[in-house]
Amino acid sequence: MWCKRGGDFVWNSRTWLCTTVCGTDQPVFLEASRWGWVFDNSRKCRERGRSSMNSESGKHRVRAKLETRAQELTERLELQSVRSCYICRTCTSSCPVTFIDPRFNPLAILRMVLYGKIEEVLNSDFLWLCTSCYSCQERCPQEIPIADIMTKLKNKAFKLGNAPVGVRAQMDIIKKAGRTYPLDDFDNKKRAKAGLPELPTSCDVVKTLFESETESLK
């Protein structure tokens, strides 16, 4: 790759950066086409002004853009690992859910994502049948992170509002009580008879952690 303005490229462990755009020291990401050319977006930067690039808001914009590009690069690398699948069907034969509900097929989901049908996957119900048991991922001869990909697909579907009612109900319960199911005095009485220690009916620590995690997903 090369820059039309003769800029020097630096690898920052995430992506390639050009360090000489508009004569500033601020690294700005220049997208590369499939032919290997690097587009010069310095004119756009120059129109905004050098002062905006050196300001705090300009630095934040650059940092946010780099983080977005890094995330996209990570997703592309995961798709690259999916391309190494040679359809041995070990994931499908190892999945306990497939035996019960044939609608869930790890191999079929991976192929749909690879063929660009990700919206169909995110809008589907069978995606949420995955129990994250990691049987497919542990047995995959190509070491494809299948279960991790399923989790990321669920997170994307949740952000789009495609989560099942049960998942949202569990989230509401955890927000209120810090657990997936509430505890009351009757439960502690049964535990006392069995010689077990008493449990608090509310778990404020988990509630706080869950709320902070929910804020980070927004």
CA 10 to chain centroid: 26
The answer to whether 126 and 150 are in contact (CB under 8 A) is no
Reported in sequence order, the residue ranges of the chain that DSSP labels E, i.e. its strands, are: 9-11, 16-18
Of residues 103 and 46, more confidently modeled: 103
Backbone angles phi, psi at 2, to 5 degrees: -150, 160
Three-state SS at 38: strand
Which residue shows structure tokens 């049964």?
A: 190
pLDDT value, residue 32? 42
Amino acid at 114: L
Domain extents in the chain: 9-81, 89-159, 165-217
pLDDT value, residue 134? 95
**pLDDT tens per residue, range 76-125:** 656 677 888 899 999 999 999 999 988 889 999 988 888 888 889 889 88
**pLDDT tens per residue, range 123-149:** 988 899 999 999 999 999 999 999 999
Confidence at 198, pLDDT banded by 50, 70, 90: confident
Q: Is the pTM of this model over 0.95?
A: no
> How high is the mean pLDDT of the chain?
72
Q: Which of 59, 54, 63, 47 has the alpha carbon at shortest distance from 12?
A: 63
Q: Which of 196, 202, 151, 146 has the alpha carbon at shortest distance from 173?
A: 202
Measured CA to CA, the distance from residue 101 to residue 97 in angstroms comes to 6
Q: Could you give the percent of the chain with pLDDT greater than 90?
A: 19
**pLDDT tens per residue, range 114-125:** 888 888 988 988
pLDDT value, residue 105? 93
What is the H or E stretch that residue 62 is in? helix 56-82
